[in-house]
Amino acid sequence: MIERAALVYLDYAASTPVDSRVAKAMTALMTVDGNFANPSSTHAAGRRSVEHIAHAAGQLAALLNTDADRLIWTSGATESDNLAILGGAHFRQERGRHLITMRTEHKAVVDPFNVLEKQGFEVTWLDPETDGVLDIAKLEAALRQDTQLVSIMHVNNETGVVQDIEQIGTVCRARDVLLHVDAAQSVGKLPIDLEALPVDLMSMTAHKVYGPKGIGALYIADRPGVHVDPLLFGGGQQQRLRPGTLPVQQIVAFGMTAEIARSRMSDDLEHLRAMHNRFWSGIRDLPGVLVNGCIETGFPGILNVSIEDIEGESLLLALEPLCVATGSACNSQIQEPSYVLRALGRSDALAQSAIRFSFGRPTRIEHVDFAIDRYRSAIEKLRRIAPERVQ
């Protein structure tokens, strides 16, 4: 049983706890007894740090089935998205200045495209279908002779909608258009084979998959015409694409995170599916409850639901001590309906009532049952308070 005073965390799409094995490996490199040396140094301690980085790159590369030298370390998915989109667009701008993305992308993708529009690039913003999935025919129709970059998220951070990046990549590759994929919510959670997928640029982060905050990576495919201009300057590290002293402990942590994820991905998915199905089974009979996204093909770690006749902020408060989200963690302080859900066709009222429940490795049946009880009780209480709003 869960004690009522205890916090129950179901916001794993926002961030995850660091695996204890990862934390131990990370902290061992931060003290005088560890390999804390600057990897840019040429002395023996520096060379040891380089060896740690190379090993971690191999671990992450093995998870993604790619070569380690295809990976650029960053501070997280936001920086990776910016480097891929801004750097990719500027590198290929002589080819054309037309770009394509979706209205349901993360802010770390949306905002760089807004910047590029101000710089004279033209952006086509594709709308999803009502289930959140991109119609490939719409993408094909939007491609032009001067299109040079497409950015589509793999797993949507708010709804869990999974896009067919293989099919999208095939369409882009046939036209020699770069495809960037924000995979912050899928790396380490879903199988990704970069040797087989026609993806040119892929962003990822450690803290969504039981690693620390502050470390991410950008995959850059090894094929002609795939490159990015740097956003930062001041050193020769990482082929001058992302200069700066490499955080050895963070990188080692990401490497171990990737290795652990690779070994238990199948078990993780089975567990998430069980938690997801149990929760949905417990609330699906509530009058006016609606799933945002596609429950059959979506990522099982995320379930986003709206409820009719309920005000979202009141619902979130009524759910405490349940820790859940009303949308993207990066937009949680903005008191307005989710632009992602509005793009799916939800009304402002339904978008404001949306709650994102996201499950993780530590989620137990009793957590889910507590959440079911809390959600049902909150809905019933709020409807009693405002019965005139219920039709």
CA distances from 248 to 43, 59, 253, 254, 385 (A): 16, 14, 8, 10, 54
How far apart are alpha carbons 38 and 36 in whole angstroms? Answer: 7
Q: How far is CA 122 from the centre of its chain?
A: 25
Half-sphere exposure of 354 (CA within 13 A, CB side): 31
Cβ atoms 212, 206 nearer than 8 A: yes
- Please, what sign has the CA dihedral across residues 27, 242, 237, 198? positive
3-state secondary structure (DSSP) of residue 248:
helix
**Catalytic status, residue 294:** no
- Closest by alpha carbon to 133, among 305, 302, 353, 298? 298
CB atoms near residue 355 (< 10 Å): 24
Reference 347, options 283, 285, 290, 263; nearest CA is: 290
Which amino acid is present at 17? P
Closest to 39 (Cα-Cα) out of 338, 318, 243: 243
Residue in 217, 159, 228, 222 with CA at minimum distance from that of residue 188: 217
CA distance 181 to 160: 15
Length reported for the chain: 391
Instruction: Give CA–CA dist 367/16, Å, rounded.
Output: 16
End-to-end CA distance of the chain: 36
Query: What would you measure as the largest C-alpha separation in the chain, in angstroms?
Result: 74
From the candidates 172, 294, 323, 330, give the one annotated as an active-site residue: 330
* Dist. CA 210–CA 189, nearest whole Å: 11
Residues 6+ apart with CB under 8 A from 292: 132, 158, 159, 304, 305, 306, 341, 344, 346, 354
Catalytic residues: 330
